[in-house]
Structure 1
Amino acid sequence: MSIAGMAIAAALIAAVGDGWNPFRTGPQIVVYRDPPCRCCVGWIQYLRGRGFDVQERITSELSGTRRRFGVPEALASCHTAIVDGYVIEGHVPAEDIERLLNERPAVRGLAVPGMPGISPGMEPYSTDQSPYEVLTFGATGPLETFSRHPAQTP
């Protein structure tokens, strides 16, 4: 193999190791998360498993990231993501993100406040099986329910 070929192979291996996949066809989403957060990693893996092209941005300044993207403090969670101009705050299920992208409502984004135990990525860290809601938010105006996720039975 030539030196150029080895360089290309090394670059591809490095990119794939970072989660990049040239064959993914799903939406590209950039996730900002705190360095030690394990449930964020679980949510990222969940999205990748559903075809999303996820790029991670590790930051110790997540509150500044939320402010920059206009996330109300009351909706703060452990990670903030951007997908096609929308903000995703917290453990929002993939089907809700896909619905948001298909319907394109006039909102800033979706949020799952707190860290519900049955939300994607939280399952290994919680025994709470309570139902939860995904909320829409905007620059102004009331929060509205976008979807409801029922309680899980053991």
Structure 2
Amino acid sequence: MKRFTLAFGLMAAMGFSTTALAGGAAQNIHVYKSPTCGCCGDWIDHLEENGFEVTATNSNDMGRVKADAGLIAGLGSCHTAFIGDYVIEGHVPADDIKRLLAEAPKATGLSVPGMPAGSPGMEMGDRKDHYKVILFNEQGQTRVFAEHN
């Protein structure tokens, strides 16, 4: 069982709010990105503006980072991050990451495949593509976690 899943369950059973834990200690995120990618830096800014403490590592072998993270084919984007036991791939909104941590589903992580316009870090004026945040697991199963316009 994941460490924070057990902690959330114990706190909830004892009548404590789990919102503070989801918004506090689990807020450290490590982002791997290409050294030349500007939108990755913009996504990092989005995370920091939403209360995350970000450590960024430049990598010239993002394919290896994604493979080591267990990323499923078709879910890739430009950067890969790790928070707790989860993988965060691409331009996932900070609120969806917070929801993931609060709900703590049994999953590998979240992905926003590609680089949709209007997603955090991919702002393009008034253009906002419809996009989905995908929850995925080690067995290759996926489901829509959130949708954004």
Normalised to the residue count of structure 1, the TM-score between the two structures is: 0.77
1:88 corresponds to: 88
Per the alignment, do residues 65 and 36 of structure 1 end up closer, same or farther by CA in structure 2, a change over 3 Å counting? same
Root-mean-square deviation (CA, aligned residues, Å) is 1.6
Could you list the per-position Cα deviations for residues 68-124 of structure 1 after superposition, in whole angstroms to 9, with x for gaps in the alignment?
010113111000000011000000000000000000001100000000101000004
Any idea what SS the aligned residue of 1:40 has?
helix
Which residue does the alignment assign to 1:21?
none
Residue aligning to 2:148: 149
- Cα distance in structure 2, aligned partners of 1:139 and 1:25: 25
Partner AA of 2:36 in structure 1: P
Structure 1 residue 130 displacement after superposition: 1.7
User: Shift of the alpha carbon at 1:62?
Assistant: 0.4
- Find the residue that maps to 1:67 and give its secondary structure: helix
| Secondary structure class of the residue paired with 1:42 | helix
Q: Equivalents in 1 of 2:128, 2:51: separation in Å?
A: 26
- Indicate how the Cα distance of structure 1 residues 70 and 26 shifts in structure 2: closer, same or farther if over 3 A, else same: closer
**Matched residue, 1:103:** 103
The 1-side partners of 2:47 and 2:78 are apart by 16
| Runs of 4+ displaced beyond 6 Å | none
Residues 56-75 of structure 1 correspond to what in structure 2 (within 5 A)?
Answer: 56-75=56-75
Q: Give the residue type in structure 2 aligned to 1:42.
A: D
User: Which residue pairs with 1:4 in the alignment?
Assistant: none
Partner of 2:139: 140
Give 5+ residue unaligned stretches, structure 2: 1-23
Report matched runs for 1:6-17 at 5 Å: none
Letter in 2 for 1:132: Y
Which ranges in structure 1 are unaligned for 5 or more consecutive residues? 1-23
Question: Does residue 119 in structure 1 map to residue 119 in structure 2?
Answer: yes
Q: Flag the 1:113–1:53 CA change in 2: closer, same or farther, 3 A.
A: same
1:22-68: CA deviation from partner (whole Å, max 9, x where unpaired): xx967000000000000000000110111100000100010000000
Give the superposition deviation at 1:142: 2.3
Distance 1:26-1:108 versus aligned 2 partners, 3 A rule: closer
Which deviates more, 127-136 or 31-40?
Answer: 127-136
Query: 2: CA distance between counterparts of 1:54 and 1:78?
Result: 17
1:25–1:51 Cα contact (<8 Å) kept: no
TM-score with structure 2 length normalisation? 0.80
Percent of aligned positions that are identical: 43
